[in-house]
Chains A and B, each alone.
Chain A
Amino acid sequence: MSIIVQTEQLTKTFQKQQAVDHVDMVIREGEIYGFLGPNGAGKTTTIRMLLGLMKPTSGTVRIFGKELQKHKLDILRQVGSLVENPSYYPHLTAYENLNVVREIVGVPHKRISEVLETVRLTEAAHRKVKGFSLGMKQRLGIAAALLHQPKLLVLDEPTNGLDPSGIIEIRELIKSLPQQYGMTVLISSHLLSEIDQIATAVGVVSRGKLIYQDQMSNLRKLARSTIRIQCSEPGKAVAALKQLELAAAHEQEQLILENCSNRSVADAVSLLVHQGHDIYRVEENKQSLEQIFLSMTDGVSL
C-alpha cells in the first residue's frame, strides 16, 4: 500500500508552547486513520498544517508523495476536508453552498445532487442553511468535502455535537467511503469508542506528541486478558498449579492467571477440583482499550 500522508518531525509552536511536537505520521492508501487524543492535544493544529491552513514551525508534510509547501494546489485538488465545526454560508441554501464550492473544484452541477443524495439532504437542498440542525450542517460539510471525489478525506471531529442516530449515520457513511470510492480517510476524535468502531489504523496524540501509531488490530491485541479464580486456600492452589507450568499469582484470596488459553483454564480448574479445592468463581478480566489509552496519555481521559 502506498503512503498517502507522511509527516516528518512536524512541529508547531505558539508563543513558546509546542502545540504539535515532532509528529511523524504515516497514513497508507485505503486506511481509515483514527487520529485520537484528548481535547487540546494538537489534533486540529496538525490537521490545519496538513491542509496548508497553518505553516509548520518546523518539519515537513508530504501528501501523495509530494511536499505540501511546494505543491499545495495540486495536492488540495485531491483532498476534501471538514475542519472542526462545519463552515457554511447561512444565508445561502444547501444547494447554493455547494455550488459556491463547485465553481472552485470544477465539477459538473449534477455532482451537487449526487452528494446531497449521499448525505441524505436532497429534500432540504433549497432551504437556507441557517435553519438546519447541527447534524444537517455537519452532513452538508461532508457533502462539500466529497464534491470533487477526493482521494484523501480529512474529517476533524465530524460527529461532534451529533445525536446518537446522527453519529451512527455519519459513521456508516465514512466506513463505506474507502470501498466505494477508494478514498483514504483521516478522522480525528477525542472519543475512543468512535475511533474503535470506525478506524483501521490509529494514531494517538497527547500533549502534541504522537505517542502511538499502528493498525487498530494490533492495538486491540494490547488489551490483555486475565483470569481470576476465587477458591478456598489460594496459597496452596498457586503451588498446585506449578505442576501445569502455569504462572499463577495470589492476590486478595484470588488466583490470577494471565494470558491463558481456554485449554489452560480448563486444566487448571480440573486440577484444583481433583485436589479438593472449592472453586467459588472463575472470571475473565479484560483490560479495556480505555485503560490502555489512559496509561498512554498519563491519565488524561479520552
Chain B
Amino acid sequence: MLSQLLRSEWMKIKRKGLWFLTVLGPLGVVGLTMVNYGVRKDYLLSLSDDDWAIYLDNILSLTPLALVLGIVILTSMMASIENQTNAWKQWLALPVSRSSVYLSKYVIATTLLFVSSIILGIGTTLYGLTLGLGDDIPWLRIMQVSFYPWLASQALIAFHLWVAVANNNQGITVSIGVVGVILTFMAFFLPDWFLWKWPTLANDWNNPFINIVLGISAGLLLFIAGMWHFCRKDVS
C-alpha cells in the first residue's frame, strides 16, 4: 500500500518545482558561502589554524535557515497540490488508509530534504577543496554538518506537515513558517527546548546529538498527533 502511494505521490509533485527547490536550497547555502569567501577569504582564513572548521561553521550558520524555509515551502506546496481542487475528497475515497496517505506525504517531504542534505554535503566538499583548506579533509565533520540538521529537523517537518494539511488556507501555513524562519535566525537567544533551535545543533551542553534525539522523538510524537487528526478529520 505504502509503495503504491509513494509512486503516486512522486508523480503528483512533477512539474511543481519541488525538485528545483530541493536543489536550490543547498546550492544557495554553498553559493552564499562562496560570496562570503569571495569577499573576505583572507580574513576568514586568518581566524584559526583549522580552516576547515571555520569553513564548516560558516556552512552550518546558513543551513538551518535554508532547511526551515525549505520545510515550510515543501510541505505547503505538497498540501496545496491536494487543496487546489480539493483533491482530498477524491484521494481519500480511494481504497487507501488515511494513515498511509499521511505517512506517504511525510516520507516525500523528508526524502526531498534528505536529497538536499546530500547535495549540501557534495557542494560543501567540492567548494572546500577549491578553497584549498588543507589536505586533511574532515569527512566526519562534513557529514555531521550536512545531515545532523536534517535529522534534528524531523520535528519541524512533522509540525509543518500537520499545519499544512490541516489548513486549506496556505496563507496561515506560510505565515507560521515565516515566523519560524525568524525564530531560527534568532536561535542563539532561544531556549534549548525550542523546536526551531534544534536544526542549528546548538545547545547548552555543546552536544549536537541531543538535538537529533529531540528532533526525532518529538518528530515522532508530532507525526502521530498530526496523523491522528488527519484520520479523524471530515473531508469537506
A positions within 8 Å CB-CB of B:
48, 51-55, 73-74, 76-77, 79, 81-92, 96, 99-101, 103-106, 141, 144
Whether A104 pairs with B4 at a CB distance below 8 angstroms is yes
Q: Which of B14, B87, B232, B234 contacts A87 (CB 8 A)?
A: B87
Q: Mark B87-113, 1 if CB is under 8 A from A, else 0.
A: 111111111110000000000000000
Q: How many A-B residue pairs have CB under 8 A?
A: 83
Is the CB of B39 closer than 8 A to any CB of chain A?
Answer: no
A77 contact set on B, CB distance < 8 A:
95
Is the CB of B27 closer than 8 A to any CB of chain A?
Answer: no
Is the CB of B11 closer than 8 A to any CB of chain A?
Answer: yes
Query: How far does the alpha carbon of A3 sit from the alpha carbon of B232 in the complex, in Å?
Result: 28
Whether B4 pairs with A53 at a CB distance below 8 angstroms is no
CB of A129 to closest CB in B, whole Å: 9
B interface residues, how many (CB within 8 angstroms)? 27
B12 contact set on A, CB distance < 8 A:
89, 92, 100
Query: How far does the alpha carbon of A87 sit from the alpha carbon of B90 in the complex, in Å?
Result: 6
Is the CB of B86 closer than 8 A to any CB of chain A?
Answer: yes
Whether B14 pairs with A91 at a CB distance below 8 angstroms is yes
CB of B102 to closest CB in A, whole Å: 15
Given A87-B85, A88-B87, A99-B11, verify A104-B235 contact (CB < 8 Å): no
Whether B89 pairs with A84 at a CB distance below 8 angstroms is yes
Q: Mark B1-16, 1 if CB is under 8 A from A, else 0.
A: 0001101100110111
B4 contact set on A, CB distance < 8 A:
103-104, 106
Q: Mark B192-235, 1 if CB is under 8 A from A, else 0.
A: 00000000000000000000000000000000000000001011
A147 and chain B: residue at smallest CB distance: B94
A101 contact set on B, CB distance < 8 A:
8, 90, 94
CB of A85 to closest CB in B, whole Å: 7
User: Would you list which residues of chain B between 54 and 91 have a CB under 8 Å from chain A?
Assistant: 81, 84-91
Whether B95 pairs with A76 at a CB distance below 8 angstroms is yes
B96 and chain A: residue at smallest CB distance: A104
Q: Which of B5, B84, B91, B97 contacts A73 (CB 8 A)?
A: B97
Whether B84 pairs with A90 at a CB distance below 8 angstroms is yes
* Between-chain CB contacts (< 8 Å), 12 pairs: A48-B235, A52-B92, A53-B92, A53-B93, A83-B90, A83-B93, A87-B86, A87-B89, A96-B11, A100-B11, A101-B8, A105-B94
B85 and chain A: residue at smallest CB distance: A87
Whether A96 pairs with B14 at a CB distance below 8 angstroms is yes
Chain A to chain B: the 7 pairs with minimum beta-carbon distance, closest first:
A87-B90, A53-B235, A87-B87, A76-B95, A51-B93, A77-B95, A54-B234
A73 contact set on B, CB distance < 8 A:
95-97
Whether B95 pairs with A92 at a CB distance below 8 angstroms is no
Whether A104 pairs with B95 at a CB distance below 8 angstroms is yes
User: Would you list which residues of chain B between 1 and 50 have a CB under 8 Å from chain A?
Assistant: 4-5, 7-8, 11-12, 14-16
